[in-house]
A and B are shown apart, each in its own frame.
Chain A
Amino acid sequence: MKKITLLLLAVFASFTMNAQTVDGILATYFENIGGLENLKKVEGIKMTASVNQGMEIPLEIVQMKSGKQYVKVSIQGKELMQGVFDGETLWSTNFQTMKAEKSDAEATANMKLEANDFPDSFIDYKAKGYTVEYLGKETIDGTETFKIKLTKEPVTVDGKKEDDVSFYFFDTENYVPIVTQKEIKSGQAKGQTSESKLSDYQEVDGIYFPFSMTQGMKGQPGQAIKITKIELNPTVDDSVFAYPEDTATEDKK
């Protein structure tokens, strides 16, 4: 009897495995991290975090549903804004002059494309014109995962359109992504693959977020970002996203 049950279990398991579809995986994922409807209600996220680059650097990361975002870096009491986007202009503080400078037009245009990725690219991916594909199982971080390919709107790189592809590895036990990979599109590392490892999923107001992210190149030791606090729907003054125009005042003679 026991044997038969076991056999049935095995059959059932393989059946569910074969029946794995990308939408099925995503549906379970959304369910497991707190429900699609709850996710859609999120208007913004504020994360308090730190990175350790020889020295410890505190960060504040804000992302809003409108696509607005910033990373605030604190060094020796000075706050430097990085990757700030107000929906139109992408800018960062220059570390030499401590003044704001705009990013190049391509980076800004590509950033605009990400406005609809909040809080999760997979939400209503079809409506966004994205495609997803289940590529099969792969062992990563010692763990069996479903490998899913996500293709978003093409980005522009050095004047040429290129596909925006990333790979997500969903743990087959919990159906949450534990690793993501993406081809680097510009800069010296162009053509190489970057990798983020996600862990320490914890609940915030009914939704699970990874509180630890390790970013680096595929297969190499990465840089850990430790998140100490996540606040949902934070109140953020719109003015912080705006590019501070550096207008010279003419000296009076």
Chain B
Amino acid sequence: MKKTILAIALTIGTFSYTHAQEEIHLKGKQLFGDLTARHIGPALMSGRINDLENHPTNDRIIYAGTAGGGVWKSNDGGATFNSIFDDYAQSIGAVELDPNDPDKTIYVGTGETWTRNSVSVGDGLYKSNDGGANWKKIGFENSERIANVIVNPKNSKEIYVAVLGALWGDSEERGVYKSNDGGATWNRLLYVNQKTGCADLAMDPNDPNILYASMWEFRRTGWSFESGGENSALYKSTDAGKTWNKIHNGFPSGKLGRLAIAVAPSDSNILYTVIEAEKDERKGLYRSDDAGKNWKQLNNDFGITVRPFYFSRITIDPKNPDVVIKAGLFGSISRDGGKTFKGMGQMHSDIHDIIFDINDSDRIYCGTDGGVYRSWNGGTTMEIVENLPLSQFYHISVDDAEPYNIYGGLQDNGSWYGPSSSPGGINGRDWNSVGYGDGFRVLKHPTKNIIYSEMQGAANVWRFDVDQNRDKTIQPLPQKGQPKLRFNWNAPMAVSVHQPDRFYMGSQFVHRSEDMGDTWKIISPDLTTNDKSKQNQEDSGGLSKDNSGAENHTTIFTIAESTLDENVIWVGTDDGNVQVTQDAGKTWTNTSMNIPNLPAAIWCYHIEASVFNKGTAYAVFDGHTMNNKNPYAYKTTDFGKTWKSIISDDVKGFVRNIQEDYVNPDLLFLGTEFGLYITIDGGKHWNKFTNNMPAAAVHFIDLQKRTNDLVMGTHGRGAIIIDDISPLREINQELLHKKVHFFTSKPTVINEESNFSGSFGGETQFVGQNPSKSVQIKYYLKKRHTFGKMTMEIQDMKGNTIKEISPGKSKGINIVRWNYRIKQPKVAKGKTFSFGGFTTPKVTAGTYKAVLKKGKDTFEQEFEVIYDPKSKLSAKDRELQHTTTMKMYAMTEELAYMVYELDAILEKTQKKKTKQKLTALKESLVITTGDNYVGSAEPQLREKMADLFSKIAGSYDKPSATELEALEIITERFNKAKVDFAKIKKKVKFLKELKLKTFDEFVK
């Protein structure tokens, strides 16, 4: 009975509670407010480009559709680019401008078409009617990859779309589609089967009814790739796509693979195709001079036939049908109609697309695995575009240096580390290379200045001694009696917080070294399914063998040693196993069968061992290589005996990574293919984070413990950081109901570091943003402040105003910055500026408060400002510096007032003698001639005083003897001037009539 009453009471209790206060669930931008991501690149190696597009009439405008970094537009012939597609899928297949309205109407087909193993996915066709400011999705939700979009140059309503379609499974959304109504409705014109998509589409420039379409039969799995089959073919339509016929006269017999098609803009009878065929000698470039009736093979050099799935584009000089460029490992150019080729100029390897300038064919743009290159001399020498931060991280980690460094490996661009902050911004030159090939995991030794890095398939694992500048390779080698080791393309590594020299690697086994990789021991059985049917990588590729190692499967993909107990190690495999040991590897338990609603053999992409409880871990799974793009994330609290899904409907896109907060176990960060999600309630609700955060694939997340910075490795937009996520830890229902809530913050260090860095090269180079070094006052507003006054000022603890600052008004989290400086002094008026007088002195260390006034309400928050603990100054030195600075501040203002009085008297007085005396005095006080540059006059008292003030106020050090002596000279001179002025003033009879401001009024 008692129990029942209690139950009822409880029910009523919660009932009345929910009535009294409805739960607040803020979505994305409503919550995150000023919490903003910053991008640090790097851009010096840039990233993969899928498609380049010219403007048909304006040669300044170039578009780049990228593999994982969205769409970028240049307004200056490629000198600089701006991102215009941040909010949508960042993997781009095709960019097309409506030739009838090229300034406004843009189509973007998402989903990269160069189908390597690490390729991302698209989610449809987008259209902008305003030059890229706003976008709307207009269909093809399940297309995954769009190869071309072509608008009829005579009729903007007619649009053709080539859908390559799904890479990892069957799909009916493939082939050639057409709209007759500007994209409102679509008809499928050409379809073959669920495995065959349209890889290339071209229109006759003279007759929009004539179309050429190459259909490609292709398929990937997690462990294989197959290009080619009976259904690959080249088709032609002469009736705007109603009927299609194969045009294979002169083609090789047997199965075909990927085919490219190009029509010469200057002679539409001339066509080129490049053919992937069964026999090597029949592969290569073919040409037709009769619009496809007959074909003739011209060339099958390596540069023409290499990796057709990756390189298939043919570009023809718009003015000369015999100048033709074929994409490839290095890119090949022919000037004899395709008979012979030479290599393009030196640039990053893997050229995917080429365009000629519309007016000058000597100007050529190439899209590569390492960004956009531009040539001014027909492709002989190439220059890289330096501001495309498209780097594709597979992994990211941070150290605990100050500022901390970021480590990670990039697709086709090696391994790197660079600082999270650097004088003048984070430049390309701040990044250091620490590995060749494709780069993946890069880890800092926990205590020594040593970095581990690797290349694909752990073919090399480097141990780099940074101080000695020496590297050695330390990958595990096959041991006696052990089978062949299977390493993933992106092989896992881990270090230990318990044993700094410990280093883990994963093949099908867990390898452990206690001496930084010199000696290896296998501490597990084969933890994978060891499914032999997934181990035939030698046969991979289809018509063109492609055994790069990228398809290695049934491997370990993630290893996590618990930070709470070194005997607890979690392992996830690419074929669905989640294994755990509690005895440092003696026994292992496969827990994957305990995970509810999880597809079998799905790729375990990451396991995060909790820092709160050694039995707690998070596991995320990526099914996209099984044609399953659903999100999967789970949590266990009992070593994997039971798992619970922590995904909500809010999450779109498959999951690659999860990061647990170090303080609040309910605060989690989820890296998905379409961006970052954050939960503040343990996964019940997820919020997409979009503040300067593109919808890029987040492959890995790390949280820097000291700064609380969330560091993301994106696969296409480089490293992206959200500085100090600590406010999110405090958010709960009680807080969300408050009108205003100040978040607690750590003391701010007064920055005294020098910064000599100029902005050399910054005009055209990408420069990553630095974190703010100011005091950051952070608060939550329940509602945006729009009407009425809202102010903020900094006060000392006695309530004196130190500085007025402008508060943020956004709903959600606001961040207001104060550079711990007071106002500049009021400076005497002269002919020119006194540059020293622009100095704003820093406050002393101590406790201050931010006072926020909103309507009738006042809110206060105390915060602390401290000196750099590394500083060598004593308290006495600090005292001397501050008092001297403020003495000179006061002196500067006193002089300002004196000149103000003097000017007023000078204007009014009629006496010639007084005038003369005042003028002479003034000329010794301030500059009265010249300009602010090289026409400047000799400095006078004002300038000397202000410059010394600036010198002392700006120094990290206490005032030197020389400075104090200089101050004495200035003080004497000022005192004399004061005496002189007092003498003159005494004789002035109209002083009262002038109604001068008091000193306090004047300096206000």
A94 and B805 alpha carbons, distance in the complex (Å): 29
B827 touches A197 (CB 8 A): no
B26, B896, B931 — most chain A CB neighbours (10 Å): B931
Contact B33–A76 (Cβ < 8 Å) = no
Q: A76-B829, A77-B829 are in contact. Are A98 and B932 (CB under 8 A)?
A: yes
CB–CB A201/B787 < 8 A:
yes
B789 touches A56 (CB 8 A): no
**Which of B363-371, B521-529, B606-614, B834-842 forms contacts with chain A?**
B834-842
A207 to chain B, nearest CB (A): 13
CB neighbours (8 Å) of A167 from chain B are: 133
Cα–Cα distance between A197 and B103 once the two chains are bound (Å): 28
Q: Which residue of A lies closest to B32 (CB)?
A: A142
> Is the CB–CB distance between B932 and A190 below 8 Å?
no
Chain A residues near B819 (CB-CB < 8 A): 54
On whether the beta carbons of A163 and B784 are closer than 8 Å, the reply is no
Closest to A76 in B: B827
A55 to B785 Cα, complex, angstroms: 26
Interface residue from A52, A97, A135, A142 paired with B805 (Cβ < 8 Å): A52
Residues of B within 8 A of A140 (CB): 29
In the complex, chain A residues whose CB is within 8 Å of the CB of B809: 141, 197, 199-200, 212
Total A residues in contact with B, Cβ cutoff 8 Å: 48
Q: Check if A141 sits within 8 Å of B824, measured CB to CB.
A: no
Q: Are A219 and B36 in contact (CB under 8 A)?
A: yes
Q: For residue B805, which residues in chain A have a CB less than 8 angstroms away from its CB?
A: 52
A183 to B104, CA, bound (A): 13
B935 contacts across to A, CB distance below 8 A: 97
How many residues from B make CB contacts under 8 Å with A? 62
Task: Report how far A193 CA is from B804 CA in the complex, Å.
Answer: 28
**In the complex, are the beta carbons of A52 and B29 less than 8 A apart?**
no
Convert A82-112 into 0s and 1s, putting 1 for each residue whose CB lies closer than 8 angstroms to a CB of B.
0000000000000111100000000000000
Residues of chain A within 8 A (CB-CB) of B833 are 75-76, 78
Residue B326 lies at the interface, judged by CB distance under 8 Å to chain A: no
B931 near A224: Cβ-Cβ < 8 Å: no
- Which residues of B have CB within 8 Å of A52? 805-806
Residues of B within 8 A of A211 (CB): 789
> 8 Å CB contacts to B: which residues of A209-247?
211-212, 214, 219-221, 224, 226
Query: What residues of chain B lie closer than 8 Å to A226, measured between beta carbons?
Result: 804, 806
Residue of B nearest to A217 (CB): B692
The residue on A at minimum CB distance from B833 is: A76
Q: Which residues of chain B from 777 to 791 have a CB within 8 Å of any chain A CB?
A: 781, 784-790
Which residues of the partner chain B approach A14 to less than 8 Å between Cβ atoms?
Answer: none
Interchain CA distance A221-B778 in the complex, whole Å: 13
Q: Which of A96, A165, A202 contacts B933 (CB 8 A)?
A: A96
Which residues of the partner chain A approach B28 to less than 8 Å between Cβ atoms?
A: 139
* Contact A98:B785 (CB < 8 A) given known A78-B833, A142-B812, A214-B806: no
Interface: B445 (CB within 8 A): no
Q: Is the CB of A54 within 8 A of B811?
A: no
Contact with A along B800-834 (1 / 0, CB 8 A): 00001110011110010101010110011110111
Q: Are B829 and A220 in contact (CB under 8 A)?
A: no
Interface residues in B889-918 (C-beta closer than 8 Å to A):
896
Say yes or no: B933 contacts A224, CB within 8 Å.
no
Residues of A within 8 A of B781 (CB): 142
- Tell me if B832 and A174 are in contact (CB < 8 A): no
Residue of A nearest to B896 (CB): A77
CB distance from B39 to the nearest CB of A (A): 11
Of the listed residues B33, B73, B786, B790, the one surrounded by the most CB atoms of chain A closer than 10 A to its CB is: B786
Residues of A with C-beta under 8 A to B963: none
Residues of chain A lying within 8 A (CB to CB) of residue B80: 191
How far is it, in angstroms, between the C-alpha of A141 and the C-alpha of B73 when the chains are bound?
A: 27
In the complex with contacts A160-B58, A167-B133, A200-B789, A191-B82 CB distance below 8 A: yes
Complex CA–CA separation, A200 to B82 (angstroms)? 33
Cβ B31 vs Cβ A165 within 8 A: no
A178 on the B face (CB < 8 A): yes
Which residue of the partner chain A has the closest CB to B30?
Answer: A142
Residues from chain B with a CB closer than 8 A to the CB of A191 are: 73-75, 80, 82
The 9 closest A-B pairs by CB, nearest first: A142-B811, A77-B829, A224-B806, A191-B82, A96-B933, A55-B824, A142-B812, A141-B810, A199-B809
A-B CB contact pairs (8 Å), 10 listed:
A77-B829, A78-B829, A96-B932, A143-B784, A191-B80, A201-B787, A202-B788, A212-B809, A221-B815, A221-B817
A52-B805, A55-B838 known; 19 new pairs, CB 8 Å cut-off, are A56-B824, A95-B932, A96-B933, A97-B933, A97-B935, A139-B27, A141-B809, A141-B810, A143-B811, A149-B130, A163-B131, A171-B784, A174-B786, A197-B810, A199-B785, A199-B790, A200-B790, A202-B787, A221-B772
